[in-house]
Structure 1
Amino acid sequence: MDLQLLASVIVTLFVIMDPPGTVPIFMSLTAQMSAKDRNRSAFQALLVATGVIVVFAIFGQSILNYMHISLAALQGAGGLLLVLIALQLLTGSTSGEENAAKYKNVAFVPLGTPLMAGPGAIVAVMVFVQQSGQLSEYLAVGLGIAVVLGSLYLAMRFAGVVQRVLGENGVELVTRIAGLLLSAIAVQMIADAVQAFVKGAA
């Protein structure tokens, strides 16, 4: 097991998916539900997010080859997407709560995707998979994904408890810190992409 890669996957996806930041959005989207329905929505959202992540992790390379997209281009695009997500976290702008009434089943949209398995998470997972070449590395990526998805489920399952413990200010603080870390990850991805393009052109 590649522990360094495992840690990298967990930290990156944790920051992107932001389990603590999901709590207030999940609570608002399921405010009219009973505790039983809320728990079922959390589990359904987990299944949807897992399915989306796994599909792109397995078939991502085939998609790239078919569309003639290089890993450097994927990293660059992913970095730009992460910058947008980081800005949303830093500024506190999200449309999930405002548009809750538009969705028939919030577990599928927007919870499962794009909140949990959004473009940032999909790109990050694809990049990690493309950079892996040994069984131990694939296992590290898979375990890292499972850990983060599990933490997301637990955050939603016990959203009421988490919100009471952190408080409004605590959740807000965690979200802002996540945005700052995510912006740094995004810049690094863009820098790596530029470096790869320069090497390829040399």
Structure 2
Amino acid sequence: MLDDVLSPSVFLTAFTTILVIQDPLGAIPVFLSLTRRQSPERRRASARQATLLSLAVILAFAIFGRSILGLLGISVAALQVSGGLLLLLVALELLTESSRADDDADSADSNVALVPLGTPLLAGPGAIAAAMVAVESAPAPVTGWVSVTLAIVVVHVITWLALRFSLTLHRVLGEAMILVLTRVMGLLLAAIAVQMIGDGITTYIGERF
């Protein structure tokens, strides 16, 4: 009976692909950099909010993705380019941001859990596309939705745990090292953004010609 609604192969493929793309351990330095001025309670809330938003976005696209993009006339390549541009703006902020007073912290960090942590860092074009492809590759629609949904939920539990316990890493490293990580991750994030934009443009041109 379980085999009628759950495909182990689809689940494992979706789980592995989305986990690798999201890279929870790789997201920890960016998370610590963007939330370094937040209190421990606020940082825990940011980890929860970012994970829940990512879960909601990827689930929505896994189930309704093709319909949503088709309705709006948007290709996955266009989504990839736009996500890359947004990440590039975030990277530039990490690279150029100067120290600010604590009274600026709340306004600067109030939305980082949603953008860019929740999306496009966690729920980026790659993870969205992987979920959509996994659903379409299933032997039956219901099997695909159930298998991919379960995979997405398990991946986000792992992601939340990684972000949640990054607080321990923050205490070990200290504020100065987190500031250094901010600059380093800004550089790496800029490279990721450029790669994402380049891949999106290449795919977009390939689809048109």
For 1:137, the equivalent position in structure 2 comes to 144
Aligned positions, number: 162
Alignment partner, residue 54 of structure 1 = 59
Q: Rate the CA distance shift 1:138–1:55 in 2: closer, same or farther, 3 A.
A: closer
2:13 and 2:134 in contact (8 A); partners too: no
The Cα of 1:136 is off from its aligned counterpart by 3.1
Q: Deviations over 1:145-173 (max 9, x none)?
A: 01111111111100134676xxx9xxx9x
Q: Does 1:126 align with 2:132?
A: yes
For residue 44 of structure 1, report the CA deviation from its aligned partner. Answer: 1.0
What is the root-mean-square deviation in Å for CA atoms of aligned residues?
Answer: 3.7
- Structure 2 unmatched ranges of 5 or more: 1-5, 98-104, 173-177, 179-183, 193-198
- TM-score, structure 1 normalization: 0.63
Runs of 4+ off more than 2 Å: 63-69, 94-104, 134-138, 160-164
For 2:116 and 2:53, how far apart are their aligned partners in 1? Answer: 11
- Greater Rg by CA: 2
Percent pairwise identity: 39
Residues 3-38 of structure 1, C-alpha deviations (whole Å, 9 max, x = no match): 222111111111111100011111111111111111
TM-score w.r.t. the length of structure 2 is: 0.62
The one-letter code matched in structure 2 to 1:112 is G
